[in-house]
Amino acid sequence: MYPDTTPQTAATGAGLSEVQAEAEARRIIADAYQPTAYRDDTPIPAHGTTPPVPQPGRPPMSQGATDASVLMLAGGATTAMVGGTAAVLMYVSQFADPVVCGLVFGAPTALVLAIARLAKRAKHDPDIHHHYQGPVYQDRRTVHSRTAGVWAKTHNHQ
């Protein structure tokens, strides 16, 4: 009813021996599993003549601007959540005092801001390590300059 399509009969029907048929089968399978794309992982040089290409998403900006925008987005989301919670609480209770709700929901925000200011002041200066070969002289004096007057007279103080 159906023709016999086992590998042996297909190989012998095409004029191939079993060894040749096996090799052909392995070649076909290997070709089927070849990658269709290649990724070059060699590092790209840090500088060159090609200008940077803007990527999709947020537009390119400095690290400080990126940090500030993330802070503003987080602050806006937090404000919306706190205000929404207060509004839902006042609506559900039907007799909640808005001043009390403002104090209750505003206190954590004030506490977080106070802790953030303390944390900003508590940062330590980074340790600076220099490695030199040969004789080195380091002058760590600080010079304060002040220029005043119609005819500029500069005073340098160490």
**Residue extents of the structural domains in the chain:** 64-121
**From CA 105, how far away is CA 78, in angstroms rounded?**
11
**pLDDT at site 158:** 66
**pTM of the complete model beyond 0.95:** no
**From CA 126, how far away is CA 59, in angstroms rounded?**
31
3-state secondary structure of 144: strand
23-32, 64-73, 86-95: segment of lowest average pLDDT: 86-95
Say yes or no to pLDDT of 11 above 50. no
Winning range, highest mean pLDDT, from 40-49, 64-73, 100-109, 133-142:
64-73
**pLDDT at site 20:** 93
**From CA 90, how far away is CA 101, in angstroms rounded?**
8
- CA dist 126 → 59, 119, 120, 141 (Å): 31, 15, 14, 19
